[in-house]
Amino acid sequence: MHTSIATVCLSGSLEEKMEAAAEAGFAGVEIFEPDLVASELTPEEVRARAERLGLALDLYQPFRDFEGVSEELLEDNLRRAEARFRIMARLGIGTVLVCSNVSTATEDSDEVSAAQLRRLGELASAHGVRVAFEALAWGRFVDDYRRAWRIVELADHPAVGTCLDSFHILSRGHDPAGIEDIPAEKIFFVQLADAPALSLDVLSWSRHHRLFPGEGDFDLVTFLGHVVRSGYAGPISLEVFNDIFRQTASGATAAQAHRTLVALADRTAREQAGAEALPTVPAAGHPVGVDFVEVRAENTTDVEEVLDQLGLSFRGQHRSKPVRLWSAGGARIILNEQHARGERPHVAGMGLLYPDVDAAEARVSTLGVPRVTRRIQAGEHRLPAFVSPQGVELFLAAGESDATGRPGWIDEFEHGVPQDEGAEAGEAGVYAVDHLNLMSPWETYDETVHFCTGVLGLQKGTSTEVASLHGLVRSRVLRTPDGAVRVPLNVLPAAGDQHTEHVALACDDVLAVARRAQRRGMRPLPVPRNYYDDLEARFGLTDTFLRSLRAHQVMYDRDADGEFLHFYTRRVGGVFFELVQRLGDYDGYGAADAPIRLAAQARLDAEPSQLSGSARPPRRRGRSVPRQLPEW
């Protein structure tokens, strides 16, 4: 597969874009004309640079508003085109993208457009180049790839073919199966872009919200399957117009882009008949459980106090590092004070269990995810570790499921309360990590979604928006089908809300856990009285039950599948805990309760200290960079 990327996807100067593309592993680039026009490099210098980088110049784009025009305008359009062909000759680029006319077309006729494209083809072949005609989703008359192909077919010129762009096809809901009706030699170019499902005019959607494959909601696996079955073997190029990518470092964006394209090819090869020739990467399946969550801080005492109140037990101190383990059943929390000077408590890592951990490591590594290097002592378990795009470290461990396994690394912890083999639940029945709620700055959000799905093997779950006091928080759940691993991922609003992440622990009796914790001095996150009045109105709960919920600041949700009871601890630095109890087949997260929680946390932020006499005032995002990882 010849991979390519349009320079419009990346930030910086043309030379920076080309270097980033080559460094990320792309075989070629599409030169976006405005990037050349703005560059100080001559076309010859661009060509030489590409050669040095080993980068093919696959396409020159876009040439606009050519077809369907009056005779008089056509002459001018041919003149404009010829000037471009000369530049292309200097660049050494053989194909130009001509997108369907969006403004000057007056002739809604396939015959007229075909005759005009044929003239363009004549001119192009005189200059040794080819024309790839692309239907823009908002073209004046040509807005469907099937019509563009009809016109190309009618033009019947060897230098005239079509360019397929997944965005224009899928945004309009057009069936991509028709791609297989186009002879492969008439498909001159293929561009891929994903996008979130939005109801927005297609032009704004395309220019601002395109995403790399697997980050949005388009079915690019099926799309690419059709492309491969058509027999097309030319460049597969990413063309993603997106406000974020143009503002972030081109090296990181190019690496992300390449990873998404490789992951897409891999999935397509595995899922689409006839696409087996596409390159694959090792398969990892999906994780089967959460091995542990790691919380890091200069001093983890406050967090341990909360864990004790919640009924988890101290299982020991690591024999060679300032690292401690607390657990109950399969819920394991590692407290790490190593290399954590000046850091407030925060979620720093997550261990995921894979049945074939070697395959999982091979996959994550092959997809170019940066590794975390940790010093290992003799006799210690080596868990492969990688850095996720939003900064949390990801550990891969071998295991069949979280609740039944006893991780090998547990023996490295000494002098704690012993835990029997198997899934001995903690006091009051805390037995597993139910979910881990992570945050990502908006810049890395879509990339993190792809990391969890395309790399780690989680699936996209529901997507919502939660109202906080400081703005709407986009949230999407990434999970396994059985719910053994659930990661709700929230966008961190630009201003206002704290960067706090939380660990939700599953238990058998949340009211009992709350009662015990409060006896041990825990002050839960306060829930306003209005909430309970509203609960009564919504669900008609009995007085006794409602009183009991309120007494323990436990929140409640119910849907057709079951019921959900949960409460939150107060924040300790940048982390807090949630205790959840699922009844029946309830599969959600109490979405209606999230705004109540955010408002309560914001109220507490205004107070000098959240935790009785212990926590330092939490720092705001931007004031401190807790470690060498990307800022969060």
- Point out the annotated binding site: 134, 165, 191, 239, 435, 502, 578
Residues 528-587 that bind Mg ion (CB under 5 A): none
Minimal distance, residue 131 CB to ligand DHB, in Å: 13
First to last CA, the chain: 36
Rounded Cα gap, residues 266 and 276, in angstroms: 9
Residues in touch with ligand DHB (CB under 6 A): 61-62, 97, 99, 134, 136, 165, 191, 206-207, 239
> Least distance (Å) from Mg ion to the CB of residue 189?
9
Min separation Cβ 50 and ligand DHB, Å: 20
> Which residues pair with residue 415 across a beta bridge?
316
Whose Cβ is closer to ligand DHB: residue 8's or residue 347's? 8
Alpha-helix runs per DSSP H in 283-400: 301-310, 357-366
Percent helix, strand and coil across the chain, each to the nearest 5: 35, 25, 40
| Contacted by 61, from ligand DHB, Mg ion, none: CB < 5 to 8 Å by type | ligand DHB
Q: Interface residues for Mg ion in 208-247 (CB under 5 A)?
A: 239
Least Å distance, CB 58 to ligand DHB, is 13
Looking at the Cβ atoms of 94 and 345, the one nearer to ligand DHB is: 94
Query: Which residues are 160's β-sheet partners?
Result: 131
Q: Decide if residue 58 touches Mg ion (CB under 5 A).
A: no
Ordered DSSP codes for 128-188: T-EEEEE--TT-SS--SHHHHHHHHHHH--TTEEEEEEHHHHHHTT--GGGGGGS-GGGEE
Measured CA angle at 109 (ends 104, 114), to 5 deg = 90
Neighbours of 620 (CB within 10 A): 13
Residue 296 buriedness (CB in 10 A; 0-12 / 13-18 / 19+): buried
Residue at shortest CB range from Mg ion: 165
Piece in contact with Mg ion (CB under 5 A), picked from 70-78, 189-197, 525-533, 576-584: 189-197
- Grouping H, G, I as helix, E, B as strand and the rest as coil, residue 488 is strand
CB of 169 to ligand DHB, least distance (A): 10
| Binding of Mg ion by 143 (CB under 5 A) | no
Residue 206's binding partner among ligand DHB, Mg ion, none (Cβ under 5 to 8 angstroms by kind) is ligand DHB
Quick one: DSSP state of residue 524? B
Write down the least CB distance from residue 192 to Mg ion, Å.
Answer: 9
Query: Residues annotated in the binding site for a divalent metal cation, as ranges?
Result: 134, 165, 191, 239
Round to whole Å and give the CA distance between 340 and 393: 14
The CA-atom distances, in angstroms, between 478 and each of 160, 217, 236, 354, 490 are 44, 14, 28, 16, 11
Which is nearest to 630 in space by CA: 198, 313, 248, 233? 248
Report in angstroms how near the CB of residue 260 gets to ligand DHB at its nearest.
Answer: 18
Residue 264: CB minimum distance to Mg ion, A: 17
Alpha carbon separation from 287 to 352, 450, 459, 487 (Å, rounded): 6, 15, 11, 12
Q: Name every residue whose Cβ is closer than 8 Å to that of residue 409 and which is 6 or more positions away in sequence.
A: 380, 381, 383, 397
Cα gap 464→469, rounded to integer Å: 16
**Per-residue DSSP letter, 455:** I
* Helices then strands, each counted (H, E), the chain: 17, 24
Enumerate the β-bridge partners of residue 477: 488
Question: What residues from 149 to 178 belong to the interface with Mg ion (CB under 5 A)?
Answer: 165
Task: For the CB of residue 132, give the shortest distance to ligand DHB in the complex, in Å.
Answer: 9
- According to DSSP, residue 112 is labeled H
- Measured CA to CA, the distance from residue 623 to residue 607 in angstroms comes to 19
**Residue with the closest Cβ to ligand DHB?**
62
Sign of CA dihedral 23, 28, 30, 34: positive
CA distance 567 to 510: 8
- Residue 574: contacted member of ligand DHB, Mg ion, none (CB under 5 to 8 Å, by partner type): none
Q: Min. distance of Cβ 224 from ligand DHB in angstroms? A: 17
Contact call for residue 61 and Mg ion (CB under 5 A):
no
- Name 24's Cβ contacts closer than 8 Å, sequence gap at least 6: 5, 251, 254, 255, 257, 258
Separation CA 122–CA 97 (nearest Å): 16
Instruction: Give least dist CB 111 to Mg ion, A.
Output: 25
Nearer to ligand DHB, 9 or 522 (CB): 9
578 binds, among ligand DHB, Mg ion, none (CB under 5 to 8 A by kind): none
Name which of Mg ion, ligand DHB, none residue 207 binds, using a CB cut-off of 5 to 8 Å depending on partner kind.
ligand DHB
Q: Is residue 191 involved in binding Mg ion (CB under 5 A)?
A: yes
Angle, vertex CA 366, rays to CA 250 and CA 249, nearest 5: 10
Residue ranges for the known binding site for Mg(2+) are 435, 502, 578
Q: Closest CB to ligand DHB among 60 and 568?
A: 60
Decide the pairing of beta strands 430-441 and 501-507: antiparallel
CB of residue 168 to ligand DHB, shortest distance in Å? 6
Which partner from the list ligand DHB, Mg ion, none does 62 bind, CB cut-off 5 to 8 Å by kind?
A: ligand DHB
Residue 211 binds which entry of Mg ion, ligand DHB, none, with Cβ cut-offs from 5 to 8 Å by kind? none
The binding site for Mg ion (CB under 5 A) comprises: 165, 191, 239
